[in-house]
């Protein structure tokens, strides 16, 4: 199982939100590229970068900051937030992004998702952010009536190979992942050729082991790394020994 540090960008800075609440922001670095180099130096094998302003506004906002991140590291980077048209979807892979992450677009702009799959296939990741099992959109500001597991099955049939699954209630709370919800998602996708990347709530090494046992391909960790609750080299060593 891969451990992926998160770099969330708002106003050009590296921040973390609590439960996706834009009014509950903590700034961890003024330069996201410097933070990206930091995680790479500590052994990270991949980074997860999100344009928070873009997710909220429905357009790419922090393009320059993300471009600097992509140029600063040699490890694979997956990028999301505000990707709503083919021009933006094509921009980051052109700069070297390993994967592009679609959230709201996958829920509301199905044609765009299908076009992205045709162009990039294995590079497309769909982010399913759920509150009480229902998918949230527009930077988590708006809930839908769509069940996350139902949408995952549907999109897997369309050719999506990876999903980032986030339980919003656990994100940034350091109270542990929602193992039941993650288990439901892995069960929903079992045998469909699609992998789950878990996100939200991880705060100790035991949580990584629990998620690994559920069969997720990777886990995205944010606040726990930034606060020191989880030491990245120690966590990577544990996963390597497992």
Given the residues 51, 53, 88, 129, select the one marked as catalytic: 129
Digit-coded pLDDT (tens) for 129-167:
888 777 875 444 445 568 889 999 999 999 999 999 988
Query: What are the structural domain ranges in the chain?
Result: 2-241
Q: How many residues does the chain have?
A: 242
Q: How much is the pLDDT for 18?
A: 72
pTM of the predicted structure, to 2 decimals: 0.92
Q: Is 8 designated active site?
A: yes
Q: Is 53 designated active site?
A: no
Q: How much is the pLDDT for 201?
A: 87
Whether 27 and 63 have beta carbons less than 8 Å apart is answered as no
Helix or strand run (H / E) with residue 200: none
Lowest mean pLDDT among 21-25, 90-94, 137-141, 211-215: 137-141
Domain at 2-241: CATH code: 3.20.20.70
Answer whether residue 241 shows pLDDT above 90: no
| Integer Cα distance of 126 and 77 in angstroms | 15
Digit-coded pLDDT (tens) for 35-84:
999 999 999 999 999 999 998 888 999 999 999 999 999 999 999 999 98
Digit-coded pLDDT (tens) for 173-231:
456 889 999 999 999 999 999 999 999 889 999 999 999 999 999 999 999 999 999 99
| Integer Cα distance of 198 and 84 in angstroms | 23
| Integer Cα distance of 191 and 211 in angstroms | 18
| Integer Cα distance of 86 and 10 in angstroms | 23
């Amino acid at each position: 199982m891969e451990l992926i540090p998160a770099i969330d960008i708002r106003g050009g800075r590296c921040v973390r939100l609590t439960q996706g609440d834009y009014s509950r922001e903590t700034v961890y670095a003024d330069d996201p590229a410097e933070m990206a180099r930091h995680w790479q130096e500590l052994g990270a094998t991949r980074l997860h970068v999100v344009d928070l302003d873009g997710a909220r506004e429905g357009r790419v906002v922090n393009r320059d900051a993300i471009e600097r991140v992509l140029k600063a590291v040699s490890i694979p980077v997956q990028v999301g937030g505000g990707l709503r048209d083919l021009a933006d979807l094509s921009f980051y892979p052109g700069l070297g992004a390993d994967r592009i992450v679609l959230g709201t677009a996958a829920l509301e702009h199905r044609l765009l998702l299908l076009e992205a799959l045709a162009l990039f296939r294995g590079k497309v990741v769909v982010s399913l952010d759920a509150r009480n099992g229902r998918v949230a959109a527009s930077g988590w500001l708006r809930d839908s009536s769509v069940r996350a597991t139902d949408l995952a099955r549907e999109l897997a049939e369309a050719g999506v190979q990876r999903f980032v699954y986030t339980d919003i209630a656990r994100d940034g709370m350091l109270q542990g992942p929602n193992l039941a919800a993650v288990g439901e998602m892995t069960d929903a996708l079992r045998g469909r050729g699609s992998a789950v990347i878990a996100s939200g709530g991880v705060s100790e090494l035991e949580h990584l082991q629990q998620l690994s046992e559920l069969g997720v391909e990777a886990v995205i960790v944010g606040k726990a790394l930034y606060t020191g609750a989880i030491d990245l080299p120690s966590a990577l060593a544990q996963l390597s020994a497992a």
